[in-house]
Chain A
Amino acid sequence: MPMRWLRRVLPVAVLAPLLTSCSLQGVQSMFSPAGSIAQEQLDLFMWTWYLSIPVMVGVFGAMFYVLVRYRRRKGDPEPEQSHGKPAVEVILTIVPVLIIVMVAIPTVRSIFRTQSHVVATSDDIQVNVIGHQWWWQFEYPDLGITTANELHIPVGKRVILHLNSADVVHAFWVPRLAGKVDLIPNQNNQLWFDTNEDSIGIYYGQCAELCLGAHAYMRFRVVVSAQDDFDTWAADFQKPTIQTASSDPLVTQGRQLVANKGCIGCHNIGNYAEGVTYGQPQFPDLTNFGLRHTVGAGVLDATPENVAKWIADPQSVKPGNRMPTLWAANDPNRDQEAAAIAAYLLSLGVADTNQALAHASTGGY
């Protein structure tokens, strides 16, 4: 009987953790760290997880033993009315103290390694991250670049983010790279992380602090690329290609619509005309939009169909967001015009290696 039971249970007991450990990997999973900070956060968790196994075995084992051994049986004598045994109580107090000490030492070491304020050197990449309901603004003060919803960084460099918010509290969270720090209005917070040579790829991030409305759709991507690719990307942003005419009539039509429909009343498009800044800073900058991987702050992949869908009816894609609907629902021109604007936006920016790399690496897990 016990053997049969063992044969049935053992494979499950061995396989279950294996199976789960496979499925724990993911694009937004802390179990797939790609930088030293995320690795340290995972290591600390694993240490306490291993430490908790004997605790659970001890407590639940003792409980199981007691319940079986001391269950009431017929003719039980009256139990001894013991109020406790000081020696046992002292030991039972020391045990949790020891466990706590074993957790506390690595914890304190890791706090100072991962959360100490760092002073930027010229070798670091610094980015001002400003949270808006419900999108992300990324400014590179050293490079003079402003973009939205996609943070580009070169591999291997230390990245220092200066976090602030334009409205309510948000939280910047990239599980595979850095954990999270809140973006709080009227307060400057810092988050830093680094990457290693294997980190090239695309990482998913998301706002983790309730900011009402479209909070669930306040997502973003971090693109870690080789230094050369990053430099190409940055150069492209510092001097965006001005695109006034195109061989594609759809793109030409889209460019006109961007003005006629009022897009540039809110959004800056650096490619629109030389030396003019359009829009207002509280709306996402669309310069070199064609280099983006997503539309709507990480909600949809930036395919022509998805971008057109987003422009035509943003509320259906991301309920609660602040983008106005530009066409009446029954407007016969809506789909054609949205597709034209999408075509124009996606034509912005010089296609480079980032794009290819990005699409290849999201399929990963």
Chain B
Amino acid sequence: MATTQTAVSTRGKLFVRPTWTRGIGSWLTTVDHKRLGILYIVSAFLFMGAAAIEAFIMRLQLLTPNMNVVNPDQFNQLFTMHGVTMVFLAIMPLGIGLANYFVPLQIGARDLAFPRLNAFGYWVYAFGGLMIYSSWFLGGAPDMGWVAYAPLTSLSHNPGLGVDFYMFGLFISGIGTTGTAMNLIVTIVSMRAPGMTMMRVPVFAWMMLITSFMIIFAFPPLTIAFLEVILDRTFGTLFFVQEAGALPILWQHLFWIFGHPEVYIIILPAFGVISEIIPTFSRKPLFGYPIMILSGILIAFMGFAVWTHHMFTTGLGPVVNTAFSLTSFIIGIPTGVKIFNWLGTLWGGSIRFTTPLLYALAFLVTFTLGGITGIMVAMPTFDAQVHDTYFVVAHFHYVMGGGALMAFFGALYYWFPKMTGKMMSERLGKIAWVFTVVGFHLLFFPQHLAGMLGMPRRIQTYPEGIGLELVNMLSTIGSWVMGVGLILILAGVIHAFLRGKPAGKDPWDARTLEWTTSSPPAYYDFAVQPVVNSLDPLWVEKHPGAMGGVTAPDPESGKAYDAHGIHIPGQSWFPFVAALALTVGCYGLMYDNIVFAIICGLAFIFCIFGWAYEGVGGTHLHLDLAEEGK
């Protein structure tokens, strides 16, 4: 029997459903989780490059006192865009992109539950990000910090369009993030391979499940806050207009009840990545798997009960400060447990020092230090000194840069062979690691001292003679060293594409299902539906009986699940066009062209209907396993 495809439905009500497999059209209309994952990852790294350039300019400006590389307004735009980009357009989408690619593969599903929603999520993220970046060319970027404290965002204090770009861009990309989170939840809950109980789900997928729940609860307050500012600025309401008696402090509550969970939305996927890398390279299962899951859930739950620790200096009083200080301390417990359990995984293993593991170790060190300073800033008494200073800047860069980002660099090296079929150079990777890690600490460690010596955040210069020269110079030199590391990582990627050795299915001798597919996986992911009867199913298959005497199920047993053929969802124009209409409509609102905005809004609604009535489409695939070489 040869491999055949039977179309589920070829009719397209409006657009003919595209069937390209290559070329730009295939990427614009794709609903394949792997392609969307790659789009996410590539876009996130591109935005990260922009954010890094912004950071280098800022560090250059702060090299010595009274430098004039940029003026104060430009500096405000630089740090605002750096923060917005790193948080919303780089690190968080990187986690989502990795989830897109690997969650289905890890749980033995062949796609996300709602492929077109997934595509829509990517496109609104990409367009929202591009929209924010278009502000550089349309009169100036947002300049009020990534936290956008009211009343800096009101028309009287900030008449330019920068604030509008920030509000609209993040508003629409937030829609995509929320949709993708729901998609991941449904996928992980209902599309796991036969036999994969919740307590057999790989930790990365587990952390993405928890993250997705956090997104669903954290984004609505932010979206409401954005909407209120948009209404203030576009339609003249008075939510945050302090001249009319509004209480600007309310913005801070709405922002941080999103903002602190956001920190965990960024870091939990990183925890997941670390929990994949460390077991693989110590050839042991994760130490305390149930505790790791439970502590992830605890962190997520408590993450919603700590937001005012960003507001200890806003005069909330000793009782509120005490309460939120204690809840913040409590988060230190599950986090500490996680660090101990990663050490426990390494303990007694057979540790191979590959580049991904080196990044995981760098993560452990920086994250421990970031955790310690996290406990320190959770003490309101001490925070009264270091809040809004470089101490805090150092703290969150240790957590988000040295923590999340190092983990994601590890993930890049770890999963790159799976995504491309090529190995990255270990030697180049290790050299890049040395520069990145040394540069990182040289860049951010002195900033702890800068803050305690009296340097506030978000200042474009500092006076001579108050003791800030040395720490700033070290920091800037560190940025150059880290910059070399980042360029070497990029060089490693290019090198791998040009001369990377073929990776094969399972280059790291790993433990989870994604390593049972070809590299890169075929568009149908798994030739035969995997069936699972333990944690680390691949390890059990390779070492029968090694894990508590379990033997893997017969690999042929999944065939029964494929009797109807593998459903490959059809490509679609609607997600792309809907996202485009939404974005363009926001420009209409920003430039007070209401008619144009309404037309775009109608186009958007039309696309949603088109999408709904278009049907799932696609084909059923009957694989000839012999022909496919399986």
* Max count, chain A CB within 10 A of own CB: residue among B72, B144, B375, B454: B454
Residue-wise, chain B 329-366 has the 8 Å CB interface mask toward A (1 for contact) of: 11011011101110110111111110000000100110
Given contacts A26-B466, A66-B347, 10 further A-B contacts (CB under 8 A): A52-B372, A55-B372, A60-B368, A82-B287, A100-B333, A115-B384, A179-B313, A186-B242, A208-B387, A208-B389
- B247 on interface, CB distance cutoff 8 Å: yes
Given contacts A26-B466, A96-B333, contact A63 B364 (CB under 8 A): yes
Interchain CA distance A44-B312 in the complex, whole Å: 16
B515-544 CB mask vs A (1 if < 8 Å, else 0) is 000000000000000000001000100010
Contact partners of B261 in chain A: CB under 8 A = none
Stretch of B145-153, B190-198, B264-272, B404-412 with 4 or more beta carbons under 8 angstroms from chain A: B145-153
CB distance from A78 to the nearest CB of B (A): 7
Cβ of B71 within 8 Å of any chain A Cβ, yes or no, is: yes
Is A18 engaged at the interface, CB distance under 8 Å to the other chain?
no
From A27, A104, A111, A212, B318 is in contact (CB under 8 Å) with A111
Q: Is residue A152 within 8 Å, beta carbon to beta carbon, of the partner chain?
A: no
Q: Does A130 contact B (CB under 8 A)?
A: no
Q: Does A110 contact B (CB under 8 A)?
A: yes
| A79→B248 CA distance, assembly (Å) | 58
Could you say which residues of chain A place their CB within 8 Å of the CB of B368? 55-56, 59-60
24 contacts between A and B (CB under 8 A): A28-B466, A30-B452, A30-B453, A31-B452, A59-B339, A59-B364, A67-B361, A71-B353, A72-B351, A81-B539, A81-B548, A92-B344, A95-B340, A96-B337, A99-B336, A112-B322, A115-B317, A115-B384, A167-B157, A169-B152, A179-B381, A184-B314, A319-B71, A320-B73
Q: Are A168 and B157 in contact (CB under 8 A)?
A: yes
**What string of 1s and 0s marks CB contacts (under 8 Å) between A178-218 and chain B?**
11111011110110000000000000101111111111100
Inter-subunit contact A206/B454 (CB<8 Å):
yes
Q: Across the interface, name the chain A residue whose C-beta is closest to B388.
A: A208
In the complex, the chain A residue whose C-beta lies closest to that of B336 is A96
Q: Contact: B467 with A29, CB < 8 Å? A: yes
Once the chains bind, are A28 and B349 in contact (CB under 8 Å)?
no
Near A by CB (< 8 A), chain B positions 303-317 give 313-315, 317
Complex CA distance for A213 and B287, rounded to whole angstroms: 52
Smallest Cβ-Cβ distance to B157: which chain A residue: A168
Question: In the docked arrangement, what's the CA distance between A213 and B466, Å?
Answer: 22
Is B553 part of the binding interface, using a Cβ–Cβ cutoff of 8 Å? no
Closest B residue to A178 by CB, please name it: B384
- CB neighbours (8 Å) of A63 from chain B are 343, 346, 361, 364-365
On whether the beta carbons of B453 and A41 are closer than 8 Å, the reply is no
* B352 and A72 contact, CB distance less than 8 A: yes
**How far is A59 from B388 in the complex, measured between Cα atoms in Å?**
29
Cβ of A97 < 8 Å from any Cβ of B?
yes
Q: Is the CB of A67 within 8 A of B372?
A: no
**Of A27, A28, A104, A211, which is within 8 A of B152 by CB?**
A211
- Tell me, rounded to whole Å, the shortest Cβ–Cβ distance linking B388 to chain A: 4
Residues of chain A having any CB pair with chain B under 8 Å? 20, 23-31, 38, 40-42, 44-45, 48-49, 52, 55-56, 59-60, 62-63, 66-67, 70-72, 76, 78-84, 88-89, 92-93, 95-97, 99-100, 103-104, 107-108, 110-112, 114-117, 163, 167-169, 171, 173, 175, 178-182, 184-187, 189-190, 204, 206-216, 219, 299, 319-320, 365
Q: Hey, which bits of chain B sit against chain A, CB under 8 A?
A: 71-73, 76, 143-145, 149, 151-152, 157-158, 242, 245-249, 282-289, 291, 313-315, 317-318, 321-322, 325-326, 329-330, 332-333, 335-337, 339-341, 343-344, 346-353, 361, 364-365, 368-369, 372, 375-376, 379-382, 384-389, 449, 452-454, 456-463, 466-467, 470, 535, 539, 543, 546-548
Determine whether the beta carbon of B384 is less than 8 Å from that of A71.
Answer: no
- Select which of B71, B158, B384 is within 8 A of A41 by beta carbon: B384
Specify the main secondary structure of chain A where it touches its partner: mixed
CA distance A325 to B454 in the complex (A): 31
3 shortest A-B CB distances, which residue pairs? A28-B454, A179-B384, A96-B336
Residues on A with C-beta less than 8 A from B321 are: 111, 115
Residues of B within 8 A of A92 (CB): 336-337, 340-341, 344
Report the minimum CB–CB distance from A299 to chain B (whole Å): 8
Residues of A near B353 (CB, < 8 A) are 71
Which B residues are in CB contact (< 8 Å) with A67? Answer: 346, 351, 361
Q: Do A185 and B242 touch across chains, with their CB atoms under 8 A apart? A: yes
Which of A31, A78, A100, A204 has a CB less than 8 Å from the CB of B332? A100
Query: Which of A103, A175, A212, A219 contacts B385, CB < 8 Å?
Result: A175
Cross-chain contact A204 with B454 (CB below 8 angstroms):
yes
Check A83/B242 contact, CB under 8 A, given A48-B379, A108-B326, A186-B247. no
Using CB atoms, name the residue of chain A closest to B329: A100
- Note all chain A residues with C-beta closer than 8 A to B246: 186
A110 contacts B381, CB within 8 Å?
yes
Given A96-B332, A110-B381, A185-B248, do A26 and B454 touch, yes or no (CB 8 Å)? Answer: yes
Of the residues B245, B287, B535, contact of A186 by C-beta under 8 Å: B245
Q: Is the CB of A208 within 8 A of B456?
A: yes
Residues of B within 8 A of A299 (CB): 463
A210 pairs with B287, CB closer than 8 A: no
Task: List the B residue with the shortest CB-CB distance to A83.
Answer: B285
Shortest C-beta distance, A320 to chain B (Å), equals 5
Could you say which residues of chain A place their CB within 8 Å of the CB of B385?
30, 38, 41-42, 45, 175, 179-180
Distance in angstroms between the alpha carbons of A95 and B242 in the assembled complex: 47
Which of B72, B158, B325, B337 is within 8 Å of A108, CB to CB? B325
Closest chain A residue to B148, Cβ basis: A210
Contacts of B291 in A (CB 8 A): 84, 89, 93
A27 to B465, CA, bound (A): 9
B375 engages A27 (CB within 8 Å): no
Contact partners of A23 in chain B: CB under 8 A:
467, 470
Query: Which residue on B lies nearest to A107, using beta carbons?
Result: B379
Report yes or no: A81 in contact with B546, Cβ–Cβ below 8 A. yes
Residues B375 and A103 in contact, CB atoms below 8 Å apart: yes
Q: How far is the CB of B424 from chain A (nearest CB, A)?
A: 20
CB distance from A222 to the nearest CB of B (A): 13
A42 CA to B41 CA, complexed, in Å: 43
Determine how close the nearest CB of chain A comes to the CB of B317; give it in whole angstroms: 7
Q: Do B547 and A81 have beta carbons less than 8 Å apart? A: yes
- Give, as a whole number of angstroms, the nearest-CB distance from A16 to chain B: 13
Compute how far the CA of A363 lies from the CA of B156 in the bound complex, rounded to whole angstroms.
Answer: 41
Find out whether the CB atom of A189 lies under 8 angstroms from the CB atom of B314.
Answer: yes
Q: Which of B71, B145, B286, B336 has the most CB of A within 10 A?
A: B336
Contact A71 B333 (CB under 8 A): no
In the complex, chain B residues whose CB is within 8 Å of the CB of A206: 454, 456
Q: How far is the CB of A289 from chain B (nearest CB, A)?
A: 21
- Measured between beta carbons, the chain A residues less than 8 angstroms from B381 are 40-41, 44, 107, 110-111, 114-115, 179
Q: How far is the CB of B589 from chain A (nearest CB, A)?
A: 24
Contact B456 A79 (CB under 8 A): no
A32 to B386, CA, bound (A): 14
Query: Within 8 Å CB of B245, what residues of A?
Result: 186
Q: Which residues of B contact A88 (CB under 8 A)?
A: 344
Minimum CB–CB distance from A90 to chain B (whole Å) comes to 10
Complexed CA–CA distance, A326 and B262 (Å): 49
The residue in chain B whose Cβ has the minimal distance to the Cβ of A67 is B351
Contact call A100/B322, Cβ cutoff below 8 A:
no
Q: Compute how far the CA of A29 lies from the CA of B470 in the bound complex, rounded to whole angstroms.
A: 14
Interfacial chain A residues near B344, Cβ < 8 Å:
84, 88-89, 92
Q: Is the CB of A169 within 8 A of B72?
A: no
By the criterion CB–CB under 8 Å, are A187 and B249 in contact?
A: yes
CB distance from B324 to the nearest CB of A (A): 11
| B76→A212 contact, CB < 8 A | yes
Report the bound CA distance from A116 to B320 in whole Å. 11
Q: Point out the residues of chain A lying under 8 angstroms from B158, CB to CB.
A: 212
| Complex: A146 Cα to B454 Cα, angstroms | 27
Docked complex Cα distance between A29 and B330 (Å): 30
Q: Are B143 and A181 in contact (CB under 8 A)?
A: no
Chain A residues lying within 8 Å of B461, measured Cβ to Cβ, are: 216
| A84 surroundings in chain B (CB, below 8 A) | 287-289, 291, 341, 344
Contact B330 A100 (CB under 8 A): yes
